[in-house]
Amino acid sequence: MVVADESTPRPEAVLTRDARARRRLLLGAVAAPLAACSPSGRPVGAPVTLVFKHAKLFGDPAPLRTLLDAFERSNPGIRVRDETLPASSDAQHQFYAINLQARSPAFDVFAADVIWVAGFAQAGWLRDLSELLPDHERAALFAGPMRAVTHRQRPYAFPWYVDAGLLYFRSDLLARHGHAPPRTWSGLVRAAQAVCAREPGLRGFVWQGRQYEGLVCNALEYLWSNGGQVFDDGRVVLDSEANRTALSFMVDLVHRYRVSPGSVTTATEEPSRHLFGQGRALFMRNWPYAWTTFADPASRVHGAVGISVLPHFPGGRSTAALGGWQLAVNAYSRAPDAAMRLVAWLGSVPAQKSLALAYGFQPSRVALYDDADLLAAQPALATLREVFATARPRPVMPRYVRVSQVLQTEFSAALSRVRPVALALASAQRGIERVVADAH
Amino acid sequence: MRTERGRERAGWYLVPAGALLCVVVLFPMVYVGWLSLERWSLLEGPARWIGLDNYLRVASDGRFWNALGNTVYFTVVSVLAELALGLAIALLLHRQGRGRALLYGVVLLPWAVPTAVSARMWEWMYNTEIGVINYLIGVEVNWLGSPGWAMHAAIAMDVWKSTPFVALLLIAGLQGIPGDLYRAAAVDGARGAMVLRTITLPLLAPVMLVAVVFRAIDAFRVFDTIYVLTGGGPADSTETLSIYVYRTLFHSLEFGYGSALAVVTLGCAALLTMAYVRLLTWRTQ
């Protein structure tokens, strides 16, 4: 169950036992040469034990352990203990903030949600990772995550795996009624209205409209795909014509075009996925994790689902909200050099490949999207590459969580028609200006 | 002489418990009070003393007043409903002869389920698409997604959960009313409504007051019900003080301002408690 307030849902690798076993074999094949060709064979002085903290993995923990074992073998003197936290992003945020605030050295490397990095870096809790990310390395990674981990021109985390919003559609129903996957938002509305008129009980378009972090991701995708923004060069520019048009469209999906059911205003990722997975919706906005569940032959919509980048407004460009997890080094770690090595290892091409095979993690390295093994295991990666290339981080700033609270309230107010769109945006503009100025 | 020494010794026995209370209750409270006078965001450098500025910010914070209003509304409506329903159930069960133990058990069930679990259950029941409530009444109401309904949906769940507690207290109270009074009333020719008005309710009043105090204090700090059902939405329409304090402290990591909000919440709860205690002592006099 995806917890409601989760900032970025992790891709849940919902693997069948068969697939898992197959992937473990593949992983072994990847890990062995990895150990052999590692450049860092020398010990780092006194033996150290690194603690690697990350969210509980969905699926078998063994593949990750295999990878860490391989790291230990090629780095004599370093041992790695991996410790898991609850899946809820909020719970993890709380854990890290409280421990780092107390300068705890109890963990060395940890997986950070894309929206935490600027704040944690500002607080001085993260080690500068510039030496792991020289220019050629940055160029090898997706641009969106790179922007999200950069604070004051320096990288404070290593993009590990990528997440972004995309459009799921029922390819069978679209074909049956003679529609192509929509490229624009108005095309989506037309297709949804036409198909739903002939398929009784079918919902047009489901997405996440509950008052929580996911709503901000959903709403920003409309704003951005109409050329709108929250900040421009440090100024708050939320209250703009482009944003009013985009947000009005989002509200109209429910109340005017009626292609989205009222239930989207309470939905998080899982309820939307259930509805779509039961074959009761034509379109869905969700993260890549849902794909794995539809790929299961037991799924009711198996073989009848397609994915694409999200639609856009006329003159705008498709833009996905970026999620995903980054590897960060605790500034209070007692073994920073060993920790950096672990980050480099986990972020390397072979490690990302084996994690992608084992858990369905979407790699942050663009080159892996041309990898024949990966493409064979996950053909969807070809489309996801396009999605991630357009993905944009939510405002990268230390006070993002406070900005998001304002946005959640006002987007929800517009969506449930407590306030007209223009008022909600004007009120959000004022609220965010107050947060930025810290004047109350 | 002996008793004095005894008292002295008794005082020493209190030291461990007193020390424990100081560490786990008194110290955190004083510390939060201290924090509330500082400007301290975990992400933004060292704490700085700012006197009462945080409290001025509370006074002009629309979100705080919205949360306070929601909390008061939730408390008043849910406690009144629980009292009325609890009284009805208590009167019914009190009369019941055979199978009473079984009925008590059934009635108590909702109270025994952990709140987070029952909230998740109710979230599914309220679901517009697949929820059993819409299915049963044959409507398509967006219970948790419309600002008009969401708070009442949360109240309904709280009433379902807490009415058994009120009923149980009132049953105990009913059993404490001497049977002679009812027999005497019967001799005098008093019936149903009159007996209820002149005997049962006045004698049950102290117990009812206790039930209301407990429930009101509990309802005022409502957190898990709302957190699971709506997370405070839509448009902050179900955001209570506890939820707002939690968000400010643990999401935004504003420890100074969050502490000020917590102190104000505590103050409101303390006022509520004091009012009840006054009422209680006034009644017993």
Distance from CA of B24 to the nearest CA of A (A): 19
Among the listed ranges A167-181, A401-415, B175-189, B270-284, which one has the minimum average pLDDT value? B270-284
Work out the percent of chain A whose per-residue pLDDT is above 70. Answer: 89
Q: Is B246 on the interface with A (CB under 8 A)?
A: no
Which of A172, A255, A155, A269 lies closest to A218, judged by CA? Answer: A269
Q: Is B236 on the interface with A (CB under 8 A)?
A: yes
Nearest-by-Cβ selection for A409 from B43, B60, B236 = B236
Q: Is B46 on the interface with A (CB under 8 A)?
A: no
Give the best residue of A88, A113, A202, A211 to mutate against chain B (max B CB count within 10 A). A211
Q: At what angle do helices B201-220 and B147-175 cross, to 10 degrees?
A: 140
Residue A220 has pLDDT above 90, yes or no: yes
Per-residue pLDDT of chain B (285 residues; tens, 9 = 90+): 556 677 778 888 889 999 999 999 999 999 999 999 999 998 887 889 999 999 999 999 999 999 999 999 999 999 999 999 999 999 988 876 677 778 888 888 999 999 999 999 999 999 988 899 999 998 889 999 999 999 999 999 999 999 999 999 999 999 888 888 888 888 888 888 888 888 899 999 889 988 998 899 899 999 999 999 999 989 999 999 999 999 999 999 999 999 999 999 999 989 988 887 787 777 666
B225 CB neighbours in chain A (<8 A) are none
**Averaged confidence pLDDT in chain A:** 90
> What are the tens digits of pLDDT across the range A101-148?
999 999 999 999 999 999 999 999 999 999 999 999 999 999 999 999
A274 CB neighbours in chain B (<8 A) are 130
Among the listed ranges A38-42, A91-95, A349-353, which one has the minimum average pLDDT value? A38-42
Distance from CA of B205 to the nearest CA of A (A): 41
Distance from CA of B251 to the nearest CA of A (A): 7
ipTM of the complex: 0.90
Higher pLDDT, B5 or A437: A437
Residue A28 has pLDDT above 50, yes or no: no
Alpha-carbon distances, residue A301 vs A293, A375, A381, B127, B242 (angstroms) = 10, 22, 19, 22, 42
3-state secondary structure of A298: coil
pLDDT of residue A22: 44
pLDDT of residue B284: 62
Contact B43 A405 (CB under 8 A): no
CB B56: neighbour CB atoms within 10 A?
13
φ, ψ (nearest 5 deg) of residue B187: -60, -40
Nearest-by-Cβ selection for B129 from A261, A398, A402 = A261
Contact B43 A398 (CB under 8 A): yes
Nearest-by-Cβ selection for B129 from A122, A275, A413 = A275
Band the pLDDT of A7: cuts 50, 70, 90.
Answer: very low
For chain A, give percent helix, strand, coil, nearest 5: 50, 15, 35
Task: Kindly report the CATH class assigned to A166-319+399-437.
Answer: alpha beta
How is A308-332 classified by DSSP, letter by letter?
Answer: E---B-TT----PBEEEEEEEEBTT
Single-letter code of the amino acid located at A348: S
Distance separating alpha carbons of residues A25 and A29, to the nearest angstrom? 6
B140 CB neighbours in chain A (<8 A) are 262
Q: Are strands A150-151 and A203-206 parallel, antiparallel or unpaired?
A: unpaired
The H or E element spanning position A84 is: strand A78-85
> What are the tens digits of pLDDT across the range A341-365?
999 999 999 999 999 999 889 999 9
**Residue count of chain B:** 285
Contact A419 B235 (CB under 8 A): yes
pLDDT of residue A438: 81
Q: Is B146 on the interface with A (CB under 8 A)?
A: yes
Q: Is B110 on the interface with A (CB under 8 A)?
A: no
Which of A144, B139, A202, A18 lies closest to A192, judged by CA? Answer: A202
pLDDT of residue B84: 96
Task: Kindly report the CATH class assigned to A17-163+322-390.
Answer: alpha beta
Residue A56 has pLDDT above 80, yes or no: yes
Q: Is A4 on the interface with B (CB under 8 A)?
A: yes
Distance from CA of B146 to the nearest CA of A (A): 6
A261 CB neighbours in chain B (<8 A) are 128-129
Distance from CA of B221 to the nearest CA of A (A): 20
The model's pTM: 0.90
pLDDT of residue A138: 95
Q: Where in chain A is the domain with CATH 3.40.190.10?
A: 17-163+322-390, 166-319+399-437
> Which fold, B53-284?
MetI-like fold (1.10.3720)
A401 CB neighbours in chain B (<8 A) are 251-253
Residue A202 has pLDDT above 80, yes or no: yes
Contact A398 B127 (CB under 8 A): no
pLDDT of residue A14: 40
Domain definitions of chain B by residue range: 53-284
A413 CB neighbours in chain B (<8 A) are 234-236
Q: Is A104 on the interface with B (CB under 8 A)?
A: no
Contact A415 B234 (CB under 8 A): yes
Q: Is A409 on the interface with B (CB under 8 A)?
A: yes
Six token digits for residue A13: 């690798």
A272 CB neighbours in chain B (<8 A) are none
Q: Is A431 on the interface with B (CB under 8 A)?
A: no
